[in-house]
């Protein structure tokens, strides 16, 4: 597998040499290390390649600052990081539907944001197909951040620190939409999660990383779940109906909202299951509270609709023990190094 590595040593080294020049808002010296993007062994090539947006330490850091900056919302109360929290693998922990400014409620659950570089489309309905055009949606959404891009650009250009950061990354000391989106894409695309217990097991199945129960769970998972939640990313990035009845009053038609096709009704993007134990609640509207309830849904809750996927139609036959085995396997997908990596955390003010 071709390895793409970008080592940004210059920025880190100059920071170490000119210690006094390092401001507080740069990363903790103990965690200094190059920002890099590597395709983990055995993974497919990503959809996002940095070809037109070379990954640099300063670009990543600018994207990180923007991601956590509440000034991207009209009343300065909400950042991307408000709904996408690192502790929850960048989902919104314990929130079923999104809460924007003034506590305005959306209709969908915040997805987690690991391994975005491999996604071929974004949002539950795939309404956006490029990582660099994604942030405009929450920024301009009335229920989320309720800003306009010109207002965001004005705020950033009034800030000397942002101006010097844009200069470092793009050679020009002014923000525009493309530079904002490209730096955010650098931050989000570099968020790779590939260090779970499952990854260690998969790299070396004989080394005893899995208990017998976890091995049984993986076997059952491959039998019942992996055609849609495909390894190693745990999604095939297709749109499917897994048998959740539309909520009255909301009636979210999913993929059909974008394509207008009856055959796409109630189909949603197959979500990755990486870090699934920390991203509850589950499904596009957060209606399912626990992993046990998710597995029970596949056993006894799959509704028969015109578009219900044949792979789950009629329910998946499982015993109580098999359910527990699958849950114990799902728990091996947590990558604690990802959810605690200081590189992805909110920068110190």
Nearer to ligand HEC (CB atom), residue 22 or residue 305: 305
Whole-number minimum distance, CB 44 to ligand HEC, in Å? 17
Nearer to ligand HEC among residue 12 and residue 341 (C-beta): 341
CA 319 to chain centre: 32
CB count within 10 Å of CB 96 equals 19
Nearest to 217 by CA among 317, 325, 334, 333: 325
As measured in angstroms, the least distance from the Cβ of 325 to ligand HEC is 11
Q: What is the Cα–Cα distance from 287 to 250, expressed in whole angstroms?
A: 13
Pick the closer one to ligand HEC by CB: 39 or 126.
Answer: 126
| Gap between the Cα atoms of 77 and 134, Å rounded | 20
For the CB of residue 22, give the shortest distance to ligand HEC in the complex, in Å.
Answer: 26
CB closer to ligand HEC out of 35 and 64? 64
Least distance CB 274 / ligand HEC (angstroms): 10
Cα dist. 165→26, 27, 80, 87, 224 in Å?
12, 15, 19, 27, 48
Q: What is the smallest separation between the CB atom of 284 and ligand HEC, expressed in angstroms? A: 3
Cα distances (angstroms) measured from residue 66 to each of 14, 306, 307, 314? 23, 43, 40, 46
Q: Is the distance from CB of 268 to CB of 94 less than 8 angstroms?
A: no
Decide if 278 contacts 339 (C-beta within 8 A). yes
CB closer to ligand HEC out of 11 and 116: 116
Give least dist CB 215 to ligand HEC, A: 16
CB of 239 to ligand HEC, least distance (A): 7
Residue with smaller CB distance to ligand HEC, 35 or 330: 330
Q: Which is nearer to ligand HEC, 201 or 267 (CB)?
A: 267
Two structure tokens written together for 241: 């109906």
Place of tokens 């539907």: 97
For the record, the structure tokens of 123 come out as 């949002």
Kindly state the smallest distance separating residue 119's Cβ from ligand HEC, in Å.
6
Round to whole Å and give the CA distance between 76 and 61.
20
Size of the chain in residues: 349
Report the residue number, 144 or 264, with the smaller CB distance to ligand HEC: 144
Tally the C-alpha atoms within 13 A of residue 69's C-alpha that lie toward its C-beta. Answer: 20
Residues of this chain that interact with ligand HEC (CB under 6 A) are 67, 72, 78, 80, 82-84, 98-100, 106, 108, 110-111, 113, 116, 119, 122-124, 134-135, 138-139, 144-145, 184, 188, 224-225, 227-229, 240, 242, 244, 268, 270-271, 273, 276, 279, 282-284, 294-295, 298, 309, 311-312, 316, 326
Region of 239 (left: φ > 0; alpha: ψ -120 to 50; beta: rest) is beta
């Amino acid at each position: 597998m071709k390895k793409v590595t970008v080592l940004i040593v210059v920025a880190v080294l100059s920071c170490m040499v000119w210690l006094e020049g390092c401001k507080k808002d740069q990363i903790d010296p103990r965690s200094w290390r190059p920002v890099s993007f590597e395709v983990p062994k055995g993974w497919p090539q990503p959809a996002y390649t940095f070809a037109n947006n070379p990954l640099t330490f300063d670009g990543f850091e600018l994207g990180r600052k923007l991601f956590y900056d509440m000034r991207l919302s009209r009343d300065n109360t909400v950042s991307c990081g408000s709904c996408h929290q690192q502790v929850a693998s960048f989902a919104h922990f314990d929130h079923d539907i999104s809460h924007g400014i003034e506590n305005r409620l959306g209709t969908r659950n915040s997805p987690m944001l690991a391994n975005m570089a491999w996604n071929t489309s974004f949002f539950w309905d795939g309404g956006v197909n490029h990582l660099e055009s994604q942030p405009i949606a929450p920024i301009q959404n009335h229920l989320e951040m309720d800003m306009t891009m010109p207002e965001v650009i004005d705020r950033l250009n009034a800030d000397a620190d942002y101006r010097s950061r844009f200069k470092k990354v793009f050679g020009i000391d002014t923000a525009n939409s493309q530079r904002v989106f490209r730096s955010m894409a650098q931050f989000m695309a570099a968020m790779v999660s590939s260090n779970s217990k499952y990854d260690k097991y998969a790299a070396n199945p004989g080394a005893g990383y899995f208990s017998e129960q976890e091995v049984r769970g993986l076997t059952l998972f491959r039998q019942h779940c992996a055609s849609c939640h495909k390894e190693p990313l745990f999604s095939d990035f297709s749109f499917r109906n897994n048998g959740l009845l539309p909520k009255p009053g909301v009636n979210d038609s999913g993929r059909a909202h974008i394509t207008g096709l009856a055959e796409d009704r109630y189909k949603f993007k197959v979500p990755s299951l990486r870090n699934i134990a920390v991203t509850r609640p589950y499904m596009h509207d957060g209606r399912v509270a626990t992993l046990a309830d998710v597995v029970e849904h596949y056993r006894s809750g799959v509704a028969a609709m015109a578009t219900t996927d044949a792979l789950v139609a009629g329910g998946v036959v499982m015993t109580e023990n098999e359910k527990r085995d699958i849950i114990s396997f799902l728990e091996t997908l947590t990558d604690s190094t990802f959810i605690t990596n200081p590189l992805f955390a909110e920068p110190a003010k």
